[in-house]
Amino acid sequence: QKEVEQDPGPLSVPEGAIVSLNCTYSNSAFQYFMWYRQYSRKGPELLMYTYSSGNKEDGRFTAQVDKSSKYISLFIRDSQPSDSATYLCAMRGNAGGTSYGKLTFGQGTILTVHP
Amino acid sequence: DSGVTQTPKHLITATGQRVTLRCSPRSGDLSVYWYQQSLDQGLQFLIHYYNGEERAKGNILERFSAQQFPDLHSELNLSSLELGDSALYFCASSVGLAHTGELFFGEGSRLTVL
């Protein structure tokens, strides 16, 4: 069983829809959570970073973390065709001062927003 | 454009061969990370170098090795290649140790082993 599970989709929604992307994890050592977006033929880029349970909002994006359930979500409001990409959840433990960039990624969810 | 440069973009080689992938981090970034992305395993951490020293290692095969040079560029060496090594290899960089989880990824080097 993988440490991080993410439904690969694909997910297709109409423009303007609210999108919900989710990941579950099994390793209770994970304390810091990220969402990366990857456009076709590009490298991933960081969208959201959070470390506490609850919601964090940034524009049309809201990241939600529930550590008790080991479940994280990313919501996209008023989705646009330009949001079409693969969304990867990522997480790490405390790192102990060694490497905060040693991330465990989900498989990624392919999202298409059609006009 | 993330500012991270990877070469070559595409590479086709045969089983048993050896290849070197090169990465130039963003100007000023001291950390370089290597990740492997494949269809079945997703994006997996290989290794992290900080200012020339190995900082952390993931599930990197013994046939793979990496180094970071004094000018901070990094190379990932893959030897005795197998079909299963076919993947997209990403380099990423960060200013320090990436406390905020922000890694800047290059566009990747796609390796095909025939």
pLDDT tens digit sequence for A67-89: 999 999 999 999 999 999 999 99
Confidence tier at A97 by pLDDT (50, 70, 90)? low
User: Quick check: B2 and A49 CB within 8 A?
Assistant: no
User: Quick check: B44 and A90 CB within 8 A?
Assistant: no
User: Quick check: A45 and B105 CB within 8 A?
Assistant: yes
**Contacting A residues, span 43-82, partner chain B, CB-CB under 8 Å:** 43-46, 49
Encode pLDDT of B32-58 as tens digits: 999 999 988 889 999 999 999 999 999
Question: Could you tell me if B68 and B52 are in contact, meaning their C-beta atoms sit under 8 angstroms apart?
Answer: yes
Sequence letter at residue B13: T
A to B CB pairs, distance under 8 Å: 72
Q: Closest partner residue to B48 among A34, A102, A107, by Cβ? A: A102
CB-based contact (8 Å) between B49 and chain A?
no
Percent of chain B clearing pLDDT 70 (strictly above): 100
Residues of chain A contacting residue B2, judged by C-beta atoms under 8 Å apart: 43, 45
- C-alpha–C-alpha distance, residues B89 and B94, integer Å: 17
Name the residue among A72, A57, A95 with its Cα closest to residue A23. Answer: A72
* Beta strands, E only, B1-114: 5-7, 10-13, 19-24, 31-38, 42-50, 53-57, 64-68, 74-78, 87-94, 104-105, 109-113
Confidence tier at A96 by pLDDT (50, 70, 90)? low
Q: Distance from A94 to chain B by nearest Cα, in Å?
A: 10
What's the pLDDT score for residue B95?
85
Q: Distance from B16 to chain A by nearest Cα, in Å?
A: 27
Judge whether residue A105 has pLDDT over 80. Answer: yes
- Cα A109-A113-B2 angle, rounded to 5 deg: 65
- C-alpha–C-alpha distance, residues B1 and B6, integer Å: 12
What's the pLDDT score for residue A95?
67
Mean pLDDT of the B4-29 span: 97
CB-based contact (8 Å) between B5 and chain A?
no
Mean pLDDT of the B59-73 span: 96
Q: Closest partner residue to B2 among A43, A49, A104, by Cβ? A: A43
Test the B interface: residue of A65, A89, A103 with most B CBs within 10 Å: A103
Encode pLDDT of B73-98 as tens digits: 999 999 999 999 999 999 999 988 77
Confidence tier at A98 by pLDDT (50, 70, 90)? low
Judge whether residue A42 has pLDDT over 80. Answer: yes
Q: Looking at chain B, which residue has its C-alpha nearest residue A88?
A: B43
